[in-house]
Amino acid sequence: MKDNKKFKRAIARFVLFLLGRGLKTAYKLDNEVREEFKAFPDNTFIRMNIAPYGPALAFSASGDRLCVYGGKKAKEVKPFIEIEFKNIDGALQVLLARIGIAEAYCQHRMLVYGDLYKTLGIIRIMNKVENYLFPGFIAKKLLVKRPEKEVSSLRFYLKVLTNI
């Protein structure tokens, strides 16, 4: 049973890694995403964490760069806003695209530490990244309304994979 949870955490760690790449890419390629980040003070961290043992993903925008931390480093930052999933199984529902962020919120799958109004910007950013990362038929199921893409998913994927 314990190993099963370990395996689930390993999957979550991998998906969070991809999500981090997706966030970095969206920050570079999508003007709306960069605009959304302006609502947060420079160099302050937003963290997504999975209780009780992680993994976590932390990110912070500053100028042209989005700094993304995983692993121990993500745990060490003092976040401006933290979204914490109550457990690994609830988190995987979202990370494996079984439900969208809005549905996860409806299902009380996560807690928010910090300003709830500003959290809405994070949700819009996540929706944008999901819309790039997932094929159309999945994105349609996950998102109440699909946001506009500023670049093609192909270009987005290439950037995510190469991380340049």
Partner 1 sequence: MIPKYYEFLNSVKILSGDKALENIPYELKQFNASKPIILSDAMLQKIGTVDIVIKAIGDQLDTSTVFVDIPPDSSYKVVNAIREVYTQNNCDSIIAIGGGSVIDTAKGVRMLISQQAEDIKQLEGSEILKKGIKAPFVVVPTTSGTGSEATLVAVISNPDEGTKKEFVSYELLPDAAVLDVRMTETLPPKITASTGMDALCHALEAYTCLQKNPVSDAYAISAMRLIGEYLEKAVDKPKDKKARIAMANASLLAGIAFSNSMVGLVHAIGHAAGGVSHIPHGNAMAILLPHVMEFNMPKCEKLYGDVLLYLFGPEVYASAPAQERGRLCVEKIRQMLHRFNEKCGLPTRLRDDKVKEIDLLPIAEKAINDGAIVVNPVGATKEDVLEILKKAY
Q: How far is the CB of 99 from partner 1 (least distance, A)?
A: 8
Q: 52 with 90: CB under 8 angstroms?
A: no
| Per-position x/- string for 140-159, each x denoting binding to partner 1 as judged by CB under 8 A, each - no binding | ---xxxxx------------
Identified binder of partner 1 from the candidate list 14, 62, 72, 107, rule CB under 8 A: 107
Q: Is 116 in the site for partner 1 (CB under 8 A)?
A: yes
Q: Is 105 in the site for partner 1 (CB under 8 A)?
A: yes
Q: 6 with 94: CB under 8 angstroms?
A: no
What gap in Å lies between CA 14 and CA 20, rounded to an integer? 10
Q: How far is the CB of 36 from partner 1 (least distance, A)?
A: 10
Identified binder of partner 1 from the candidate list 11, 97, 112, 151, rule CB under 8 A: 112
Q: What does the radius of gyration of the chain's CA atoms come to, in whole angstroms? A: 15
> For residue 22, which of 141, 109, 139 has the smallest C-alpha distance?
139
Judged by CB, which is closer to partner 1: 146, or 155? 146
DSSP state of 55: -
Q: Which stretch binds partner 1 (CB under 8 A): 10-18, 21-29, 41-49, 101-109?
A: 101-109
Q: Which stretch binds partner 1 (CB under 8 A): 1-9, 100-108, 131-139, 151-159?
A: 100-108
3-state secondary structure of 61: strand
What gap in Å lies between CA 80 and CA 40, rounded to an integer? 8
Identified binder of partner 1 from the candidate list 10, 96, 111, 161, rule CB under 8 A: 111
What gap in Å lies between CA 84 and CA 51, rounded to an integer? 7
3-state secondary structure of 112: strand
3-state secondary structure of 159: helix
Q: Is 62 in the site for partner 1 (CB under 8 A)?
A: no
- Residues lying near partner 1 in the complex (CB under 8 A): 99, 101-103, 105-108, 111-121, 123-124, 143-147
